[in-house]
Every structure is written in structure tokens, then in C-alpha cells.
Structure 1
Amino acid sequence: MQPIGYSYLNRYYKLLLPKLGLEVYIDNTVDTECIRNYGSFKRKLLPRSRKFIDCPYEQMISAIKYQGIRLHYFSAIFNNSLLKKADFSAFLAKKPNSKYNRVLWFLYEWLTNSKLDLPDLKSGNYIQLFEEKYYYTLKNGNKNKRTRVINNAIGTQAFCPTVRKTLEVKNLAKIDVYDTAWAKMQTLGDFLSSDVIGRSINYLYTKETKSSTEIEHEKPDKKKMQRFLNAIKNAGLFELTKEKIIDLQNQIVEDKARVTDYRTSEIYVGSTIQRLNFIDEDVHYVGVLAKYVPEMMEGLLSTHDNLMLDGRVPPLIHAAIISFGEVYIHPMDDGNGRIHRYLIHDVMKQREPEHKFIIPISAAILKNTAKYDAVLESISKPVMAMLEWELDTENNNRLIIHNDIDYMYRYPDYTEHVKFTYEMMNSAISDELISEICLLIAFDRIKRYINDIADIPNNKLDKITSIIINAGGKASKQKRAFIEKHIEHDCLPEVEAKSTQLLKEIKDRFNIDIKSLMRKLP
């Protein structure tokens, strides 16, 4: 069994890059092309009729043919000392007009900022760098006259993520999550009113703020929570710039931790484990080298501008690209996770400003932290497997990084992240948005039942309503004495009957158990 494409290149250039999800091999025992499981990975097996050419440049072409353009691979190869620039130029010069040779030529010069010893092409049609059939791309792109290649990548040389058009992603991309949310809200029928929508949206902003903070296992003070809440409510109103990101970070952290620029030191995400005689740091992820943060963030913001101006990449894919890009670069000393989730809303509001409600994706993520961790690890685990680092225990656990793998941060594949973002949005619509509206409807109606038969101060009325909902429509034995101080004993059964009927109707019609959702409403 002979490795070809990226598997061959990985060995030839001694890259030690983690395996791709699909590796390609020529297998003399098969007669037709097939895909077989290889543990948790897959292998595409090619029949013996396919010629194997033991040449790294030919294998670069095979890699693109069978596995597409993987920018992190080409960046690692083109900056590898084993690549002989003169030999590579000579190989390309044999067929300078060939489609794949031109792609390789452009990629080398784009990724390395270095020219090959080749004359400019004077004729021939322009070709696209990324095939639209397989990747999300910009509609027009930039023409490179030297190679006659149209660079339609969504990003820049400093930061260029890719999203592949798998069948699942293409189907997801047809969904407008705001339209889906609105249609779901309409199923509430006569339960729904503009007042309920407005009040539930206000609460959902609060819930989104609280959930985003809880994901980080933090309990910030009310001042910080209010500042972050205001930021979420105003998402999409400001240009997404370096200054805006820094301002957002300063709204999240303690006043004494405010900054005026991106971080200037190395950073990691982890937890402290207290053992018998020492403290151990469990490091989960290390951010990009601090020296690369400014240029990669500039690349991220340029990618955002590209997608805004082009408008062809669906809004939620756009949001996933920018938000996950920020969290992996980790540009700030603190607050990166909350900025990441804020950016989802910010991009969505910039792309679709006509929608006036929020979809509480952080609440969905909070309920699916294992899936969140898994999608983050699709990038972080390969990075951590390749990174050589240590903590200087004599210098306040200062992080020291010994090797430079910037290409792993610059050129990620976010296909899985897009799928995750759609899944969480759909979960937020079904499980969070509609549930919160139904809870508010139930609270309002039961409160109205009580108010019709008793004159009770509003704060006491809210408390009694909460008690009845928590007990599934009944007055619990423990709290019954308190309730009967405010509601006449003969009137209480009517309130209980109407409350029980309403909660049952909501459960039967919408499969939502209001009692299980109950908590102190604002």
C-alpha cells in the first residue's frame, strides 16, 4: 500500500502533521477506487492501475486532485528546508500553463511572499484557485497576472480559513435561522402577542449574557454583566475593528485589567490541579505566538470585510468563520471566549439587521459543552500535539514555546465548526427561544388568573405565581399557608385548575414542560 498526496508529502518532508480525515493510498489488491475505515479515520484506496510517481511535486498535484487544497500543508512544505526552490521552479517550468502547476506556483508565492524563478505568463485563460464546487469562495476574487490565477480565497495570506462544501454543509447553508425561528414562533398561534415577544427577547438577551459567562465557569459582578449585556444588545451597530474588539474586552474584564492593545505575551487555556505536594497546570490549548497576533487579527478582520462586501457566503457560515477564528488566535489576555460568542451575534446582525430578536446560542452551547469541546479540539488537539512548550515554574508559570507552527493557526479548516454552529442555532431555536416564550406566556396567564380574584402587591403576586408553576399548577403543601394569606381558601382551587390546565395544554401542544424550565423571572 503506497501513500500518495498529503500522506506522501507528510513523510517526504518529515512534517509530522496530524492525519487528515481522509488519507489516500494506492492499493495493489483493489481493482476499483473505494473508501474503507481505518480506525476513526478513512482511507481512499486507488487501484493498481493508477500510476505512482515518486516525486514530491507530482504528489503535490495528486494531493490537490484527491484531497483539495490544504493550506496548512502547503505552507509547511514551502517553508521546509527540504524543498529545493530551483528544482521546484524547474518542475513547474516544464508545463507552466498547466492548471495544477499554476495553482502550485501561485500558492508558493502567495504563502511565502517569495518569487520563483519563472517568467510571467503572457497568455491563457484565468483559473480559480479554489474550485467553487468544493469550497466557499469569493465571487470575484483578485486576479494574479503573473500566474493567471484568480485568488478567490475568503481570507488573506495572514489568515485564511477554508470551509468545504460537503453535502451536509450545503444543505445547512440553505437554512435561514432567523426565518426558521420566526416560523417556529408562529406555531404558538393565539398564545403569541407582540408584548410577549418583546419581553421574552429582553430576557433572552439576559440569558445569552449569563450563559456565555457560565460557559467560562465565571461569576462576574453585576457591573460587568450589565456591560456585556449592553454589548450583546448593541451587536451589529458598530464596525468590526481592532478598536471595537479591545473595547468589548474592556467591557468584560475588571476595570483594573483594561487594555489598549492585543496581548504581547504567550497565553494558554487550562486549569490548575492541586496535587499532594505540588500544583500541576493542565494545559488544554496554547494561543498563537504573541508576535503573530496583530497580523493574524488584521487578516481576520480583512476576511470579515471580504465576506461582508461579497455577500455570497451565508451569514451563519460567515459568523462561524470569524468567531472561531478569534477564539483560536486568542488575541486578548482575557475574555476571548465571550468575545467569540459575541461575534456570532455581531456578524449575524451586520448581515441581517432587519431581524430584531436574538437566538440564544450560548444557552444551547451551555447545554452541549461536550460537543463544544469536541469541535474546539478538532483544531486544538492537532496544535497541541505538534507544539513544543513548557511552563517556567520559577517565573510564575510563564509559557515558553520552542517551535513555530504558525501555519496551523493561519490556515484552519472550519467545516466542522460550521456544522456545529448550525446545530447550536437550531437547538437554541427549538429548546431555548420557544421555551422561554412559553414560560413567559404561562407566567403571565397564571398571574392574571390570580390577579382577577385577589388584590395582591405585585412582588407577592410574582412569588405566588412562581410557587404555583414550580409545583406544576398546584399550591405546594409547604407554601400553601403563605398563599392562603393572600388568596381566599375557596378561590384557590379555581386558580389551581386553570393553572394545571394551561401547563398541560402547553406541554401537549408544544412538548414543553414549563415546570422543568421554571426559575426566577426578571
Structure 2
Amino acid sequence: MVENDQNRSTYRLAGYAALIERYDLDVIPNWHRSLVTTSGIRRIDSSEGIVREIYPPRYWPGDTLGDHLEFALKYDGTNLAILASLFREVAEEDFLEYVRSKPTGKYARRLWYLYEFLTGKRLPLDDAKRGNYIDLLEPDEYYTVTPARQVRRQRINDNLLGDRRFCPMVRRTDTLRDFETADLPKRCRRVVSSYSPELLRRALGYLYTRETKSSFEIEHIKPTSTRTERFVALLQLAEQEDFCEKPRLIELQNRIVDPRFRDSDYRTNQNYVGEAIAREKERVHFAGPRPEDLADLMEGLVAAHKRMDVSEVSAVIHAAVIAYGFVFLHPFEDGNGRIHRFLIHNILARRGFTPGSVMFPISASMLKNPANYDASLEAFSRHLMALVEYSLDEEGRMTVHNDTARWYRYINMTPQVEALFGFIDQTIDMELARELKFLANYEETKRAIQEIVDMPDRKIDLFIRFCLQNNGRLSARKRASHFDFLLDEEIVRMEQAVLSAYGSSVLDDD
């Protein structure tokens, strides 16, 4: 195919774009689209998250399958989902011809390995006898596991984050490089170090409750006190125990949902997320994988978790890949979103990203930035739903008619990792710092009030809350109903204690 611009220059598709057109593939678009011009210079533009790069004529790779595969790996990156779709369609002999023409070439060996990895078929080729071992993914371009698994057949270091059942990809973007150099754990420790261990111990219970309420509120759920206590109890275990295995995930689901919706296994029916837009009409935002694909995908998710758990991959990469992977697989009827957010805590805490004396109220950041949180989910679901062929019966039951498993197996999770880093950044500088400062001020105010009037803690808490709700002053109505026993002079001094601790920017945090 050729593309023409206003100057009548001619462009030819190259790499994945050429192969997608040649083999008529339905795929989630690659983040990078390549074209080669017949005249002109190299230039780049981007739109809706896709980089479009135009190369001068000398970059034209040739016309064969192998030519465009090599070009794709060099310039478009490694896209497992597109390769999985492509290898279903290409003639095996065409692929063999390419590999045999370059038996020691690094791109040929990588593609040979990926062909067998993605298809599960062993090609009629002898094992490579020569050549150094090479990394499957370039560590400068992708986040990878170390140490890698050496594969003797192609003399490849398999440094993928997962296996063929579930293997997300995360590119080293400029955004992620900046977050890496920001040293978020150090910034978190610096915030926490400003406060005494006694205050941090008291703050922890508050932060657990705040996180629980925020996580439920994201889904517009008002939990009962019992469900809140159960979720808090789970968060308290997050630092010590690994919940990313099937029995523990089922236990999690059972403890956080209404007892009537507890599951004893992964779901056996097709689920989806949607909304009614008219009578007997529903808009579907997301469909989970087919039930017959789910067990294999979830085993792959757990295996990827275990692989990253013993590697040097960043704790945030690990947490994002597993937590977002979980919610995209949607293995239960209810509770998937809350478990997804719990897994973020579980992995960050166990990997030592967060100090043991504190917990990230990360759901509060998600709740305050709903557009960013929704965008992190839609970065996958928007493209996915263009490929899922489904029908809904009169009772709203969904049936998926095409094979969709590869889209869930090989997700580009770069947008989700960037989003999680962003939420963590906001949590450290806004939510965590703000909450600890608020609680420190609260402790200071309580001590000052107790020196003025020796009241029960419950009364002091009520007085502070009423003042914070009313710009630092106790309203006449609240005084008459709750504090008519206080003298005018005592009220003035107690109000001054609140204003001294919080300044003029008193807030209602209920």
C-alpha cells in the first residue's frame, strides 16, 4: 500500500504495518507505525498514543516476510500479540526460508524463538551451534527480568516478564525513565521520617480505613462496617503474605464481597462491564476473556508474578503488570476491582517499596483523578473491544464468538505502568504527606485542648471535627447541642488551638 501527503510524496508501509496489511490481520494497533518515503527526510509525529515515523528511502527493508519482520523488531519493537496473529497466517515454509538464510543472525534467532514460543510448535530446524547468547528483549528498550532464562536451542536469553500463557510488555519510555531517576521510595521515606514512630503507628489504622473507603468508593459502593473491617484486616496482611496464587485470590474475593456473591473458583461464564443506555440496550465498555481461556491465563498471571518476584524488575512494574493484568482477566463475578487495587499494595509492600511503618492511600489518588484512572483501563479496553465479536441475549448474557485469548495474553502494559507511577507520585506528595501532616496537627490540637479542658477523647474529637467543618470556629448550634457546658473563654482558647495547628486552610475530611 502507498500513502500520499499533500506534496504527493509516496510512502510505503514497513514493518508491522506492512505485514498487517499483507496478511489482513485484525490486531490492536502497535504503538509505532513505520512508513518509508520515496524521497524526503526522517520525521516523526504522534496521535492518540501512536507514533508515526517516516523513514528516508535507504531504510526500505525489502519485500519478503523476513525483511519486514526484521524491520519490525528493529524499529517497531517486539509486539507479541501481533506476532502471535501473524504466525497463524504465514506459510511455515516462508518463515523457515528466512531463518535458514540467516542461521546465526540475532534477529532471525529472536524471531525463531518467538515463533516456537507463541505457536507451541517446534520447527524442523537443528539447534543453533554457533553464536553468543543474546537477550530476547533489549534491556535498554524494555523492562525485563534478571537473571534471564537461557534457551540453548536458539542461544537466547529469555528475559520476558512472563511465559506464553501470559506475557505483558513494558517499554522504557521517557516518562518511565524519569520516574526511575526520581527515586520514589527515597522520597516516601523522607516524608515518613519527619514523624515519630508513635504517630506513624496511630496513623496506620487511619490510612488503612481511608484506603478501604476509597477503594470501595471508586466502584460507588458504600461498605458496611463489617466489610470495611474485613478489607482493613486484609491490608494489614499485605506486607507479610503473598496473595497472588489461586487459593489466596479466592479467599480474598470471599472476604471482600457480599456473602451471597462469593465464588469457589474462577468464573465459568462470560462477564463484561457495561451500562444501560436505553430500554433493552446496553453499552459494553469491556469484556473479560472467554471462560474456557481463563484458567490458562490466570495460571500464566501467577507464573509471571512468581517470575518477577525473584527478579530485579522494579516493584512498580511488577505491581502494575499483575494488578492491571488481574483486572483485565476479570476472573470473578464480583470484587475484581478491589482485588486489583489490593494487589498493588500487596506487591509494593512485600517488595519493600513502601516503608514498613506506613501504607500508601493510593486508591485516594485514583479516586481524586478518575479521568486518569479510567484512561489507564481504557488504554487496553478501548482497542480490545474493537476486536471482540459478541452478542447479548434478552437477559443480558454475553457470548463471545471469536478467539480473543491472545489479546489478554500479550498486553502492552506501558500505559498502565506509567499511570501507576503517576498515582504513586501523587500519593507520596499529596495524599500521604497531607494525611500525616493532618494527623500530626490533630495530635497537637488534642494535646492543647486537653490542657485547657480535660474532656473525654470522644468530646475532643467532636470539637475538632466541628471546628474543621466551620473554618476553625464552633457554630452556635453545635455549641448549644454538644458543648453547652464550656465557658466562653474556654471555647475561644480551644478554637485558637485548632487554628494554630491547621492555619486558615481548615478542611472537612469526613
Q: CA contact under 8 A between 1:456 and 1:486: conserved in structure 2? A: no
What are the within-5 Å matches in structure 2 for residues 32-431 of structure 1? 32-37=41-46, 41-80=50-89, 83-187=90-194, 192-239=195-242, 240-273=244-277, 275=278, 278-310=279-311, 312-352=312-352, 355-393=356-394, 396-431=395-430
> CA 1:354–1:360 in structure 2 vs 1: closer, same or farther (change >3 Å)?
closer
What's the counterpart of residue 510 of structure 1?
none
Deviations 1:420-469 (A, max 9, x none): 11111121122211222222233333333332222434333321221122
TM-score, with normalisation over the residues of structure 2?
A: 0.93
Task: Please tell me the residue identity of whatever aligns with 2:337.
Answer: G
CA distance in 1, matches of 2:411, 2:36: 27
Q: Secondary structure of the residue that 1:285 maps to in structure 2? A: strand
Q: Deviations over 1:15-46 (max 9, x none)?
A: 1324333211011231x322134576431111
- Aligned equivalent of 1:452: 451
User: Measured at CA, do residues 325 and 345 of structure 1 come closer, stay the same or move farther in structure 2, by a change above 3 Å?
Assistant: same
Alignment partner, residue 473 of structure 1? 472
CA RMSD of aligned residues (A): 1.9
* 1:175 Cα offset (Å): 4.2
* Structure 1 pair 306–486 and aligned structure 2 pair: CA distance change class (3 A): same
Deviation sequence 1:471-499 (CA, Å, 0-9, x none): 22222243343465132112322222332
Residue identity over aligned pairs, in percent, reads 34
Change in CA separation of 1:437 and 1:52 when aligned onto 2, cut-off 3 Å: closer
TM-score, structure 1 length as denominator?
0.91
Q: In the alignment, is the contact (CA less than 8 A) between 2:341 and 2:363 conserved in 1?
A: yes
Residues 1:518 and 2:506 are matched in the alignment: no
Equivalences, count:
498
Q: Is the 8 A contact 1:267 1:287 kept in 2?
A: yes
Q: Pick closer, same or farther for the CA change 1:147–1:484 going to 2, 3 Å.
A: closer
Task: Provide the residue aligned with 1:7 in structure 2.
Answer: 17
Gaps of 5+ in 2: 1-10
Q: Is the 8 A contact 2:201 2:357 kept in 1?
A: no
Is there any run of 5+ residues in structure 1 with no aligned partner, and where? 508-512
CA shift, 1:503, in A, is 1.8
Which deviates more from structure 2 when the two are superposed, residues 155-164 or residues 414-423?
414-423
Query: What do the CA deviations read for 1:70-96 (whole angstroms, capped 9, x no partner)?
Result: 10110011122xx11122112221221
Q: Aligned in 2, Cα 1:210/1:128: closer, same or farther, shift over 3 Å?
A: same
Select 1:25's aligned residue among 23, 35, 55. 35
**In 2, Cα distance between equivalents of 1:38 and 1:236:** 41
| Code of the aligned partner of 2:428 | I
Rounded Cα–Cα distance in structure 2 between residues aligned with 1:127 and 1:434: 45
Contact 1:12 1:56 in 2 (8 A): no
Work out the CA distance in 1 between the residues paired with 2:456 and 2:316: 45
Secondary structure in structure 1 of the residue aligned to 2:310: helix
Q: Distance in 1 between matches of 2:458 and 2:176?
A: 49
CA contact (8 A) 1:267 1:286 kept: yes
1:248-268 alpha-carbon deviations (Å, 9 max, x no partner): 011111223222211111110
